Amino acid sequence: MDKIMDAAQRRESIIARLRQESEPFSASKLAKQLGVSRQVIVGDVSLLRASGVDIIATPRGYVLDAAARSKNTHRQYTGTIACQHTGNQTKQELYAVVDKGGELLDVIVEHPIYGELAGRLNIASRKDADRFTKRVLETETGLLSDLTNGIHLHTIACEDSETFEEIKEELKRLNILYVS
């Protein structure tokens, strides 16, 4: 007969499983493996984060901070861009960045009450972009940039500053790069 884990053991198990994975691990998958509800996992992760464990929630699941960094080590340059576009242009924006060799690490908006709100993306390919946009449509939650009339920032990882400039030029050509 299996011994039922107590909460502390379950949280240790969550950390151990995240350490073994380089890809995001969904709350549903953790819940199934540990025999609890998804909501219990969400609560456990919140408590772990509050205690200082660097767990990051990405659109595809949880990762430890070291694993949430750029997927490819050849992407050593990072820069920030400002963009503005409609929700219908999201896939076009994501494709423009990844097709030029960039990875969108995050999205940041400035909220009048809460200040800076950020979400991890880690989108490095068209497949990642398709998965993200599909999830936005399926969940009907909207984009962070919906809060700011489409204006938002992205941290982009790429090989070098020249690649970063090429990405900016492509976004400018598409009228997505924000210029006041």
C-alpha distances out from residue 98 to 39, 50, 93, 126, 149, Å: 33, 33, 9, 7, 24
Name which of 153, 106, 99, 88 is nearest 127 in CA terms.
99
Q: Are 60 and 24 in contact (CB under 8 A)?
A: yes
State yes or no: 85 annotated in a binding site: yes
Distance of CA 8 to the CA centre of its chain: 27
Quick one: 61 exposed, middle or buried, by C-beta within 10 A (0-12, 13-18, 19+)? Answer: middle
State yes or no: 74 annotated in a binding site: no
Cα separation, 94 vs 156, in Å, equals 11
State yes or no: 154 annotated in a binding site: yes
Cα separation, 106 vs 94, in Å, equals 11
Q: For residue 125, give the 3-state DSSP assignment.
A: coil
State yes or no: 166 annotated in a binding site: no
* Binding residue numbers: 85, 93, 152, 154
* Binding residue numbers for Ni(2+): 85, 93, 152, 154
